[in-house]
Chain A
């Protein structure tokens, strides 16, 4: 039986036994990438297509006004908000130490860092384990994000992530692109919204 360190060395030796020459891939030529004249319209089109809902709002109060229109929201027992200046919830996740307690959560309203026009994705960076769990365990999710500085495509998105020193540059962390509610088509290719994650996604595009 090989020990762990042995396997590492064996694998690396095998890989190094044949040196392979290959040029470094060229950096992406930005001039060749798509640009949308109206990124907000593109984002809205794509997110709607993948089952999310987009709301263009000008005042923070509109978030709760719009949410009040949903039966799933007015009937919700537990609502958690990570954007307290926009909306207040009744579930105080800072007092929870075990992510399993979040199983009762009906709604979570969270901030997004930025939106991506080409695919309707929003970059979300929960600060801790409880916030991270919330995104996936809540029944319904709402994200509040600015529309003023939308990334055209994923190349711009990753440039921003690098510039903001996320993705491990300053220690352990976690980030996720969310695009639409959770879904599956595993039964005869019939699309069903609400697989394991959220059943609906509301995105509020603030100025």
Chain B
């Protein structure tokens, strides 16, 4: 295994960019996504659909190939790890069963978790929506007069737009995960749930750090830039008055929470300040301590192709009697998702990002094209549940190849759910006329063999005789990026009649 995955610095840029010359863009050309604009609920600008936003990304062909290669590299690392475990498929089955049980028994498990966590000295809060979550965090900080909070990676707080909420109220929030810090300094949002800065080139990180951290102009060596961030963030850690972390797993049986990181930032944020706030979506609950054995084997292998994250920390109660541990359980649309038999299993997601790394659409269109905190296949299932009109284009950002379903460590049938969303949109009357009309026409055609044959004859004749611009023009979506095939001389039915039927 280790022969195919050498440890020394692997630079995907040299592999993904055959020209070897990193393409640089000026600041103004970059797609800038402000923290509360593209996916924000209070956005005033019109929401753009997936094809429109993907267009920005794919306009730079070199960058598209580079991004595609970077994610495929991680997918390959995942494959190597998965195949090194003989019982991999058995583990996925177990994980799926545990999550199914946890989703079914969610109310009882959450109550059990709350009681156990309280007994260990934690304070447990419940938040119906993002606003309430943010208010709870703010009130905890305000009560203790905190003006500086250090935060490790938490997609839930991105979903709730916590940073802008706290900054508007005069609290400085420092993202401490390196990738998140990069996007925070650039005033962007993460484009991937595990690899927040996967869309940014090292030269661009160098420019950002030169501006904000005073690194040398033009420096782009990842080792040098990471060292600079380490120094910069150590100072922030030591001055943080409160730390906020996400939660990977909450154990109902023991009242404990588990946080998985590679950088050690979540742990520094949780142990240095006297206040530790941990936010969790309610789907993070698992029934038993032993269930962790399944998930800790699957998570990092699926996410980044590592055997396990560098740190897998188990917190049971606050760090000492003088400190506080606050756990916030957030709903924000999850109960509604749970009501739907079709989409319920998507709550089993452990946020590994494997479906993104393997998705041919995600790899080529970038995470920002989804216009949501959680992008990719799982995001395309989750987001329409909260706002079907706004996220209507997402289930179509999919070729139904099924690769996401194959790699999902908890066996969520992602591509089936994406197809189910399209049917759901039809039932809800949300489809636009350019989708419904062709479907109605096709239905008519396939139900009437005579019309079908006639249409075929006219089509073949038209393609042979009429000029090219009749078919290849800006109104034909199909021919925009593709060439039409040459018209066949005869239909299949004609060929069959000639070659087979009379030879019976």
User: Interface on A for B, CB 8 Å cutoff?
Assistant: 2, 4, 7-8, 10-12, 14-18, 20-29, 32-34, 45-46, 48-51, 99-100, 103, 118-121, 128-129, 132-133, 135-137, 153-155, 157-159, 161-162, 167-169, 171-192, 194-198
Contacts and interface: CB of A to CB of B under 8 A. Distances in A.
B434 interface: no
A197 B338 contact: no
Interface stretch (B35-43, B221-229, B362-370, B478-486): B221-229
Contact of B293 (A11, A48, A153): A153
Interface in B256-298: 256, 262-265, 267-268, 271-272, 282, 287, 289-294, 296-297
Contacts of B262: 182-184, 195
Given A186-B182, A192-B226, A195-B265, A10 B128 contact: yes
A168 B256 contact: yes
A196 B265 contact: yes
B94 A191 contact: no
Interface of B: 1-2, 5, 7-13, 70, 73-74, 85-87, 90, 94, 97-98, 100-101, 103-107, 110-111, 116, 120-121, 125-128, 132, 136, 176-179, 182, 195-198, 200-202, 205, 222-223, 225-227, 230, 233-234, 237-238, 251, 254-256, 262-265, 267-268, 271-272, 282, 287, 289-294, 296-297, 304, 306-320, 323, 329, 331, 335, 338-339, 344
Contact of B10 (A46, A167, A189): A189
B150 to A, nearest CB: 11
Contacts of A168: 116, 120, 254-256, 316-317
Contacts of B97: 23, 25-26
A150 B308 CA distance: 17
A186 B267 contact: no
The 4 closest A-B pairs by CB, nearest first: A197-B264, A172-B317, A22-B104, A186-B179
B74 A189 contact: yes
Contacts of B309: 179
A46 B339 CA distance: 43
Given A189-B73, A196-B234, 12 more contacts: A7-B126, A11-B331, A121-B308, A155-B293, A158-B293, A174-B319, A175-B313, A175-B314, A182-B263, A182-B311, A186-B179, A196-B230
A129 B271 CA distance: 7
24 contacts: A4-B136, A8-B126, A10-B128, A12-B111, A20-B338, A49-B5, A121-B312, A128-B320, A153-B297, A155-B293, A158-B289, A158-B293, A159-B290, A168-B255, A171-B317, A185-B195, A186-B195, A186-B196, A187-B178, A189-B12, A189-B70, A189-B74, A190-B11, A197-B310
Contact of B312 (A10, A177, A183, A194): A177
A17 B196 CA distance: 37
A18 B90 CA distance: 30
Nearest to A155: B293
Contact of B314 (A176, A183, A184, A198): A176
B310 A182 contact: yes
Contact of A190 (B10, B104, B237, B315): B10
Contacts of A169: 254
A196 B263 contact: yes
B290 A136 contact: no
B314 A20 contact: no
B87 A179 contact: no
Contacts of A190: 9-12, 202, 222-223
B311 A178 contact: yes
A157 B307 CA distance: 15
Contacts of B290: 27-28, 155, 158-159, 162
